[in-house]
Structure 1
Amino acid sequence: MLSFFKPNPVKKLRKSYDLILEQAMQAQRKGDIKTYSLLTAESEQIWDKITALEATSK
């Protein structure tokens, strides 16, 4: 009944996903390709979690 009071895990994951992509972009601009690749891999894992949560909610 009051489901709008429940926290949305997808929203929190999307926020961290966007933050990590921003950090990856900054690392790439600085020429730190190793950090860029690590952050990109981490963001891909978060994206997989997001898609899995969205698939189960439908």
Structure 2
Amino acid sequence: MFGMFKKKSEKEKLQEEYQKLQSESFKLSTTNRKLSDQKAFEAEEVMKKLEKLK
């Protein structure tokens, strides 16, 4: 119950964004390869930010 007011850390936010971008990239891979590659690139950029935080 008390966890619902807890703010997410920067790391948690980036992990969620990475997961979202990877999912979008996978869904687009069957219909639009160019957009899929763009989402995959954005996901990699987010992963680089995560690596810097460690």
What's the TM-score once normalised by structure 1's chain length?
A: 0.77
| Counterpart for residue 39 of structure 1 | 39
Greater C-alpha Rg: 1
Number of aligned residue pairs: 49
The structure with more helix, counted as a fraction of residues: 1
Q: Aligned AA for 1:46?
A: V
Distance 1:10 1:43 in 2: 14
Q: Structure 1: 5+ residue runs without aligned partners?
A: none
Q: How far off is 1:8 after superposition? A: 1.1
Between the aligned residues of both structures, percent identity stands at 18
Q: Structure 2: 5+ residue runs without aligned partners?
A: 1-5
Alignment of 1:15-54 (within 5 A): 15-30=16-31, 32-54=32-54
Could you list the structure 1 runs, at least 4 aligned residues long, displaced by more than 3 angstroms after superposition: none
